Amino acid sequence: MRTVSPAMCQRSDRCGFVAAHAGGGRRQWSYDHLVEQDLVKFLGAHVAAFDVIIAADTICYVGELDAFAHAARRSLADDGLLIFTVEVLTDGAADAPWRLQPHGRYCHAREYVETTLADHGFSVRDVRRVVLRREAGRQVDGWLVTAAAS
C-alpha cells in the first residue's frame, strides 16, 4: 500500500473534528482548507471535487452508511478513491449490520460496508482487518476499506 503525503497533493482539505484535533497527533499536516462542518454535508456540496477521500477513525461515528456513501461518491471524481476505517462488528451481524457500542462509536459488518458501497457506485478494491487502536488494554479491530468510484 502506498503512503499519502502532503507533497502528493495540489490541495488538501480537512473537514470534521477540527477544534479538538487540528493541533494534536504525532504528525502535522498543513491543510489548504480547514472546515468545521458535518462530513456528509461537506461532501455533498462538493461535486466531483476530490480525487481521494481519506476518513480515518471518523466513520465509526456514523451508524447507517448510505448517506455517507452517497455523498462520498458524489464528491469524488471518476475513478477517485475512498479510503476509510470502521470498527469491526464481530457478533450479531445477522441481527443488524451495524451497532452502537457503549463507548459511543459504531461497529459495522464487513458485508454491510461492501454492499452499501456497491449500491452507491463504488467498486470495493480492498478490505482488510487491522488494529485501529488500543483501548482499556485491549485492541480495537477495524476494517480498512479502499473503494474506487465506478
Distances (CA, A) of 51 to 13, 95, 110, 115: 12, 36, 24, 22
CB-CB contact of 66 with 116 (8 Å): yes
Looking at residue 2, the DSSP 8-state letter turns out to be P
Q: What is the pLDDT of residue 95?
A: 82
- Cα gap 75→89, rounded to integer Å: 27
The two beta strands, 138-149 and 122-135, are antiparallel
CA distance 146 to 43: 17
Each residue's pLDDT expressed in tens, for the chain with a length of 150 residues: 556 555 555 555 555 543 344 444 444 545 566 667 788 888 988 899 999 998 988 899 999 999 999 999 999 999 899 999 999 998 766 688 999 998 899 999 999 999 999 999 999 999 999 999 999 899 999 999 999 999
CA–CA distance, 45 with 80 (Å, rounded to integer): 17
pTM above 0.85, yes or no: no
Return the pLDDT at 125: 98
Q: Which domains does the chain have, with CATH numbers?
A: 47-149 (3.40.50.150)
